[in-house]
A and B are shown apart, each in its own frame.
Chain A
Amino acid sequence: MPLLEIDNLVVEFATAAGQFRAVDGVSLSVEPREVLAIVGESGSGKSVSMLAVMGLLPWTAKVTADRMDFNGVDLMNLSPAERRKMVGKDMAMIFQEPMASLNPCFTVGFQIEEVLAVHMGMSRAERRARAIELLDLVGIPEPTERLQSFPHQMSGGQCQRVMIAIAIACNPKLLIADEPTTALDVTIQKQILDLLVSLQEQYGMGLIMITHNMGVVAETADRVIVQYKGRKMEEADVLTLFENPKSNYTRALLSALPDNATGDRLPTISDYMTDEAPAAGAAS
């Protein structure tokens, strides 16, 4: 049984200019222990569909799907309170801007222990011990001292490690990483990716990696979904995709890797997209 199974997901936003469709009939599934990459440009609806799974979209968004099952539970027909029991516990998410994603007014320790208190019902001492263990696990030196730190006292890479610690605190079955390395320095990017993959293997989580970076895909993913303007363009395992891409769009994405530059000019997506662009509108 797949861990997450989505059929025909549609997300629409009510805007001043009328209904706007950000995700248009996307279907996907993730097996336990699998790493799925969702690739696409900004505006391809890849983050929106995962925010819909987590139930984090603003109220202006209208989410419909033929099926959205997580771990055998139908997410579409869950009350908000029941859903909150799973979100942050069985499925967790980390985001693009680690510095902005942590609350500047609370210590790192508070923010980690909070999720333990809400979902695991641990005592104060247990929470503290677990928080130290988690910080150690994500590779933060001197974890005991770090519990008292505020986010602004740490670097972006460290903040992302703390975010990962919060996400894996309750041993989730699925971790969604939304462009987890985009805002970080190149040297840090690799460390964070390695950390995510090793944690995924160690704990047997399903991992969805949202990215626009084909290099990240090659390094981490088992299977890849390519999304463009709210639609799924292609789905393949990672080797097939890189060796034998079926859609023009995937070819375009692949050739936009700096390694593939010919002459002095880097190819752009629009060089390739002629016939295949879906008619539906797109947004960020």
Chain B
Amino acid sequence: MLRYLLKRLAVLVPTFIGVSIIAFTFIRLLPGDPVALMSGERVMSPERHAMISHELGYDRPVVIQYLDYLRGVVTGDFGNSIVTKQPILDQFLTLFPATLELSFCAIIFAIVLGIPAGIFAAIKRGTFWDQTIMGTALVGYSMPIFWWGLLLIIFFSGILQWTPVSGRISLLYFFPPVTGFMLIDSLLSGQAGAFKSAVSHLILPTIVLGTIPLAVIARQTRSAMLEVLGEDYVRTARAKGLSPFRVVGIHALRNAMIPVITTIGLQVGVLLAGAILTETIFSWPGIGKWMVDSVFRRDYPVIQGGLLMIAGIIMVVNLIVDLLYGLINPRIRH
């Protein structure tokens, strides 16, 4: 197990270095003067230019600059935002819980609906139910989620007026963030109605962000289940006189979950890409919206740092999923 972990880490390190090189060099690919870009000052005297250039370390060789940047990254120093002048890591840490909360709810939504739907479709293979579920899943899989979000807003916020249009909680409530997770903080605040407001703000973004993972998980569960149901050990389980529930829910499902776990892990990238769109639509103050805003503001240090941190998160989650895969699949564990 430990050797497996080390082997995975050994592959991860060069990839992360590659990611950091990309994040580092892309600013140098920009047309225009990097000093002006990084400082956010368009017009400056030659003296000021030289000063800032020295301050930012641009007068040194590129390799040294990269190593400096890497050293900063390792110690948690991603530089400062041009626009707000705040350290990028601080901004990230403030905003990340919002994205994490949303992504977590979305993936739970996708798993809770997707796995049973996939199992049901597999058991009812070829029937009306199977075709309906799989047809719906393909529609979900093909969904432009930015439009889907707008549709849900039109219907639930516009026509039915059930849910709010944007934000994480109603402006009526104010309390200092403790964990950064609105569901928890609103409960901790003890203010009546705050939790309900937080939930109602979360529902539509969760559905929108969870739609594609839901479709993918349902499709993958069905095909894994179909494959497993034809295996000899499922026949053995039936030959033991076990109930259909036990045969499918324990013997088949445990094996079918192995590829599904991998699929769920791969959804992390999908979730973070989806967060860019979902957070933009619902004005959700997370890192997706932060990245889009930074692109518009040309806040290059933020784009650079954000890119690196998001890629880092995805790589770490994939590593965790790999380890989980080892736990659920005894053939790898031993």
A interface residue numbers (CB < 8 A to B): 54-56, 81, 84-89, 92-93, 95, 97, 100-106, 114-115, 118-119, 150, 152-153, 163, 166
Contacts and interface: CB of A to CB of B under 8 A. Distances in A.
A88 B239 contact: yes
Interface in B218-238: 231-233, 235-238
A95 B237 CA distance: 12
A100 B239 contact: no
A93 B241 CA distance: 11
A101 B236 contact: yes
Interface string B237-258: 1111111001000010011001
Interface stretch (B174-182, B312-320, B326-334): B326-334
A136 B255 CA distance: 28
Contacts, number: 73
Of all A-B residue pairs in the complex, the 9 with the closest CB atoms, nearest first, are: A88-B241, A88-B240, A100-B232, A87-B241, A103-B233, A84-B241, A105-B254, A150-B330, A101-B232
Nearest to B230: A58
A283 to B, nearest CB: 17
Interface of B: 231-233, 235-243, 246, 251, 254-255, 258, 328-331, 334
Contacts of A153: 334
A163 B255 contact: no
A104 to B, nearest CB: 6
Contacts of B237: 103
Given A97-B232, A100-B233, A102-B233, A84 B243 contact: yes
A118 B240 contact: yes
Given A88-B239, A153-B334, 16 more contacts: A54-B239, A55-B238, A84-B242, A84-B243, A86-B241, A101-B232, A102-B233, A103-B254, A103-B255, A104-B331, A115-B240, A118-B241, A119-B241, A150-B334, A152-B331, A166-B240
A158 B254 CA distance: 23
A103 B334 contact: no
B248 to A, nearest CB: 13
A251 to B, nearest CB: 34
A87 B239 contact: yes
A101 B238 CA distance: 11
A257 B235 CA distance: 32
B330 to A, nearest CB: 5
B288 to A, nearest CB: 37
B236 A103 contact: yes
A118 B246 CA distance: 10
9 contacts: A56-B235, A86-B241, A95-B232, A95-B235, A103-B255, A105-B255, A118-B242, A118-B246, A152-B331
A93 B255 contact: no
A84 B247 CA distance: 12
B187 to A, nearest CB: 38
B154 to A, nearest CB: 44
A163 B239 CA distance: 11
Nearest to A88: B241
A252 to B, nearest CB: 30
Contacts of B334: 150, 152-153
Contacts of B251: 103, 106
B326 to A, nearest CB: 13
A106 B235 contact: no
A54 B254 CA distance: 24
Contacts of B238: 55-56, 87
Contact of B242 (A88, A102, A105): A88
Contacts of A93: 239
Contacts of B254: 103, 105-106
